[in-house]
Amino acid sequence: MSIVWYFDFVSPFAWLQWPRVKELMQTHPVTLRPILFAGVLDRVGQKGPAEIPAKREFVYRHVLWRARESGQTLCFPPTHPFNPLAALRLCIAAGSDARATEAIFEWIWGQGRAADTAEALAPVARELGIADTAAAIADPAVKAQLKANFEAAMADEIFGVPTLAIDGRLFWGGDAHDFALAYLRDPALWDEAEMHRVATLPIGASRL
C-alpha cells in the first residue's frame, strides 16, 4: 500500500497525530509530505480554524485538553497562526524524514518556539546539520519540492491537514487515525454497501 502523511507544522492537530504516525512507520512505509495548509484552504475555498474567532478560541482550548488527556506535551509558539514556509522548507532541505520532522515539530510544539524565520529556526537547523538556514530555505530546489508536494496533495484531493492518504483513500485528522488503521487491516471496509451509499448520497439542499 502507498501511505502518505500530509501535514503542516502550523497545525497543532498534526503535532498531536505525529506520535501515532511514528508508530505506524514502525510497521509500514510512510512518506512524509509537508505542505502549505494555507494553500490548501485557498484552493478549496474555505477558512482555517484560526480565521473564525470563536472557533480559534475553542480549537486552542481543545488541543490543549487533548494533549493533556494523552499525556503529550503541547506548548503553543509565541504567535499562531504563523507563517510556516520557513519550517516547511527546512524540513525539505533536511530530507523530509522522521528525524527532520520530529526536530521541527518538537521545536515548535514541544518547546513553544518561533519558527517563522530562518533566524528563529537556526538552532534546530544546526541540530539537523544545516549551518546556513537562510540559504537552505531559499534553495530553488527546496522551493520546487514544496510546490510539488502541494500539487501532489491537490491531485490526491486533500482538503485539510493532517491527512493520511492510503492508496488514494483520505483519512483527515488525528481523530480519523483509528479509521485509517482499520482500513489497513481490512481494505474491504471501504467497499461495504453502506460506505458506497453514503459516498453518493443525494444533496437535499445547498447554500447559494
Bridge partners (DSSP) of residue 91 are: none
Q: Which three cell numbers, joined as nine digits, stand for 47?
A: 477558512
Domains for the chain: give ranges and CATH numbers: 3-199 (3.40.30.10)
What is the model's pLDDT at position 1?
A: 85
At 123 the pLDDT is: 98
Q: What is the pLDDT of residues 92-137, one digit of tens each?
A: 999 999 999 999 999 999 999 999 999 999 999 999 999 999 999 9
Contact criterion met (CB below 8 Å) for 163 and 34: no
Residue 114: the pLDDT is 98
Compute the residue count for the chain.
Answer: 208
Contact 10, 81 (CB under 8 A): yes
Position 124: which residue type? Answer: V
Whether the pLDDT of residue 207 is over 90: the answer is no
pLDDT at 63: 97
Q: Which amino acid, one-letter code, is at 37? A: F
Cα 12 from Cα 91, distance rounded (Å): 17
